[in-house]
Structure 1
Amino acid sequence: MISPAGRPTRRTAVRWAGALALALATTGCAGGTGAGSAAGEVTSITVLDYYTQRSEHTQWDQVLTACGKTAGVRVEHTSVPPASLVPRVLRQASSRTLPDLLMLDNADLQQVAQTGALTPLDQYGIDTSGFAEGILSAGTYDGKVYGLAPYVSTVALFYNKDMLAEAGVAVPRTWDELKEAAAELTRPGRHGMAVDASATFESSWQFLPFLWSNGGHEKQLDTPRAAQALRLWVDLVKDGSMSKSVLNWTQADVHDQFAAGRTAMMINGPWRTAALNDDEDLRWGVAPVPVPRAGQAPVTPLGGEVWTVPQSSSEERQKKAAEVLTCLNSASNTLTLAKQHFTVPSRTAVAARYAEQDPTMAVFVKSTEGARVRTGELGVRWPKAATGIYTAIQSALTGEQTPEEALRRAQQIATSD
């Protein structure tokens, strides 16, 4: 994913950035194959995303169709599996058939924009006001906005209300409280806490709130503050509060453990809300990710997909695509989409109203206000840092290396050529 609803898509995009640049250079970025692409009136545009799940694809198809009607065009909507999106973009670049409207995980935006494949949105007069700074930066490259996200997401702490009440445990707000609560909640057949610690970018995504909230930084991973964050996870596994199986659990697996009552707390995203609501026997709550010290606000990563207008040989097709993109990001559509996908509307005012309407989403709305974009500091080098982070997590949680040793290796990976 992301994969749907802002769940981080895990691909190492560095390898294809150069290839895409070469493809664009040789093809001249000619685009769109729909009606009217050569000259005259544009009657249809092509759209590409990775929303392959049937219900999700249908929901997006409906809003794209409606926005197409507003722009006076028919939308030819195609969805491919997340792992297939980038290879498809490469093929379409080389065959001069890039889509007119393209969705990208926000972590991939800078990689693609760097190649010259995308058009800056200011040339279409698109209004980018009303977005939180972090959210707008998700679609920004080299000072220009190339993509807008109708909704965004981040992570928080989910907890089983009944289990906490039975154990007399308060919802943890700090790391010390988290360790104490997780230990108290651990029983035979049940662990107190669960995270995704797999050898994937999802693990890096889940670790970032702990790294960032403690003053650690992706630019320099081998610091004492980063080691303290990693040691927290190590200690939870060592004392049995967290299963060693987290080394193999995806975010979906973590959710399944929580829903089945095999863990009392978990780190996860708002897209899990629909499934949790379907379980009538499960009483759950959500709170901010615990922080190192009381009174701090957690710094969480920003997830979500941005919609972009690729370069093409037809300015008219680009303009129509931009009209559809504008429609997708209207206040009413951002609210509708957020409700459908259990995410956070990108416009600040809309998100505030949403939090009032759905208190379970209030934590996520608050967290996204100060959320950071994964590529914000490292840009196209973020995938290397992410690889270093999940490699360090694996090494430290298995006991192969100390947190300090694991993070020194992570820094080497992050800065390697």
Structure 2
Amino acid sequence: MKTAQKRLGKAPNVAVAAAALLPLSLTACGGADPADAEAKNTLTIQDYYDEAHDPIYQACAKSLGVDIEINHVPGPGLIPKVLQQSASRTLPDVLMLDNPDGQQIAASGALSPLTDYGVSGEGLVPSVVKAGTYEGKLYGLAPAVNTLAIFYNKDIFEAAGITAPPKTWDELRSTAKKLTQQGRYGFAMSNINTYEGTWQFLPFMWSNGGSEEDITTPETAQALQFVVDLQNDGSMSKSSVIWSQSDVIDQFIAGKAAMVVNGPWQIPSLKEHKDLNWATFTIPTRLASQTPVAPLGGEIFTVPRTGDKARMAKAGQFVKCLASSASQLQSAQIRQNIPANPDDAEKFGESDQTIMPFVTAVRNARARTGILGPNWPKAATKIYNAVQIALTGLATPAEALRQTQGE
């Protein structure tokens, strides 16, 4: 889940657009009228990636014998553009969506089930299939996904005499204290008041048994108290409430944070800093017996209802190609994402041990829309508001969660 400038798993702020989703079901059944044979054999692709992903699209186009037109849209502008395209009946043939947005768009009637084209999620990580499913029907597939782990500075660990990464919250807290000194925090994460802040809090909440259905439970309060304790210890900056994930990784690169929560999309930029000696580990749980549960990030590819059944069928096969083993591995290599197929993911992790903690986390990762579906954004807003209230000292963690649950 990246920031809007560097996105791989981040949910765009679709709450403002939610009210505009209803018209999709009324307008998405149209489509551009193909004027000639060439147009009929051309698929339009829309995403918020950059040109680095184009070779994968080109390879699938070649295998299917079609031409493609690719439209890269800035991340924050994708959902507004989709809404506008639906109203004007100009939806693309293949549409990429951040996975938490998929259910809202599917609920609007703008997407067609992939099963109509013989596409299934067989062999993929269950949470990947769940992320692309709405009311029992598969609408999107993610070729490669991402999640969260902790990056740490090996040199700082060694200098402090720490020989192994922490595995529990108590160990993480004591390690962060030990690594904190003048000009450097032991731990950093993003607690910003956006979906990004919720995304970073979820591993602590979910691994401890908390649920978005009711955030007032003791389990979620324990998780929030832990984050507050890190700040109260002086191990985490009070500025975390305004830091994005990009800000957090900048702190790490600058040597101002010894450990940071972040995603695998940061690996290419970290490797550019040859003097930075770093590694990764799985986000600790409160108890050693608990299973780490992190949120699933990444994008799904869908087939909009354009009204042109022939092109929709080709688009379905295009999505199937994107989810193939070869495409998954290529996407993972380009974006440092994790292949959605567990076997491919394992091979990818073995090629680079800094990736392996993310591979491990993906096995038990949870789709953010898995429980609440299209209502996830409401819960995400409550969560990041509660984190903000607690970290700014306006209420205790338990009180902050009770306040926002009622919003």
CA-based RMSD: 1.6
> Residue 142 of structure 2 is aligned with which of 127, 146, 149?
149
CA distance in 2, matches of 1:151, 1:23: 28
Query: Alignment partner of 1:326: what SS?
Result: helix
Shift of 1:10: 3.1
Give, in whole Å, the separation in 2 of the partners of 1:355 and 1:80. 30
Contact kept, 8 Å, 1:32 with 1:45, in 2: the verdict is: no
How far is 1:329 from its partner?
A: 1.1
1:1-32 deviation per Cα after TM superposition (whole angstroms, max 9, x unaligned):
5655632123134x53452332441x352124
Q: Paired residue for 2:372?
A: 378
Q: In structure 1, what is the equivalent of residue 180 of structure 2? A: 186
Local SS of the residue matching 1:309: strand
Greater shift in the superposed pair: 142-151 or 41-50: 41-50
Give CA deviations for 1:75-112 in whole Å, capped at 9, x if unaligned.
11101111111111111111111111000000001101
- The 3 A distance-change label for structure 1 pair 11 and 200 is same
Whole-Å separation in 2 of the counterparts to 1:320 and 1:10:
28
Paired residue for 1:7? 9
Q: Give, in whole Å, the separation in 1 of the partners of 2:7 and 2:323.
A: 15
Conserved? CA contact 1:50–1:81, under 8 Å = yes
Task: Pick the aligned partner of 1:286 from 268, 280, 297.
Answer: 280
Per the alignment, residue 197 of structure 2 pairs with 203
Q: Which residue of 2 aligns with 1:91?
A: 84
Tell me how far 1:384 sits from its aligned partner.
0.9
Distance 1:314 1:12 in 2: 28
Q: Corresponding residue for 1:308?
A: 302
* Map of 1:46 onto structure 2: 44
Separation in 2, partners of 1:264, 1:34: 56
Using the alignment, how far apart are the partners of 1:20 and 1:240 within structure 2?
A: 44
Q: Which residue of 1 aligns with 2:313?
A: 319
Matched letter for residue 163 of structure 1: I
Q: Paired residue for 1:59?
A: 52
Structure 1: how far apart are the matches of 2:46 and 2:253? 33
Matched, 1:232 2:207: no
Secondary structure at 1:240 match in 2:
coil
Pairs aligned (count): 404
Partner of 2:212: 218
Structure 1 residues 2 and 216, CA gap change in structure 2 (3 angstroms): same
Indicate yes or no: 2:369 matched with 1:369: no
1:22 is aligned to 23
Pairing 1:160–2:160 present: no
Residue of structure 1 equivalent to 2:239: 245
State, as a whole percentage, how many aligned pairs show the same letter. Answer: 47
Equivalent residue number for residue 344 of structure 1: 338
1:34 Cα offset (Å): 5.8
User: What is the aligned partner in structure 2 of residue 121 from structure 1?
Assistant: 114
Q: Say whether the 8 Å CA contact 1:110–1:379 is kept in structure 2.
A: yes
Q: Is the 8 A contact 1:174 1:293 kept in 2?
A: yes
Task: For 1:34 and 1:60, locate their aligned partners in 2 and report how far apart those are by CA, in whole Å.
Answer: 26
Unaligned runs of 5+ in 1: 52-56
How far apart are the structure 1 equivalents of 2:121 and 2:33? 29
Q: Which residue of 2 aligns with 1:54?
A: none
Q: For structure 1, which segment, 147-156 or 65-74, has the greater mean C-alpha deviation from structure 2 after superposition? A: 65-74
CA distance in 1, matches of 2:32, 2:262: 38
Q: TM-score, structure 2 length as denominator?
A: 0.96
Distance 1:198 1:230 in 2: 14
Identify the residue that residue 72 of structure 2 maps to in structure 1. 79
Give the AA of the match of 1:304: G
Aligned 8 A contact 1:388 1:411 in 2 = yes
User: In the TM superposition, what is the alpha-carbon distance from 1:43 to its structure 2 partner?
Assistant: 1.6
Residue equivalent to 1:103:
96
The 1-side partners of 2:248 and 2:34 are apart by 42
Aligned partner of residue 279 in structure 1, secondary structure:
coil
Using the TM superposition, name which of 125-134 and 88-97 deviates more: 125-134
Q: Structure 1's 273 and 252: CA in aligned 2 closer, same or farther, altered over 3 A?
A: same
Distance in 1 (alpha carbons) for counterparts of 2:99 and 2:24: 22
1:28, 1:257 → 2: CA distance? Answer: 44
Q: Give CA-to-partner distance per residue, 1:264-308, whole Å, 9 cap, x none.
A: 001000111111111111111100001001132211000000000
State the AA in 1 paired with 2:211. Answer: H
Equivalent-residue separation in structure 2 for 1:376 and 1:127 (angstroms): 18
Normalised by the length of structure 1, the TM-score is 0.93
Moved over 6 A (4+): none
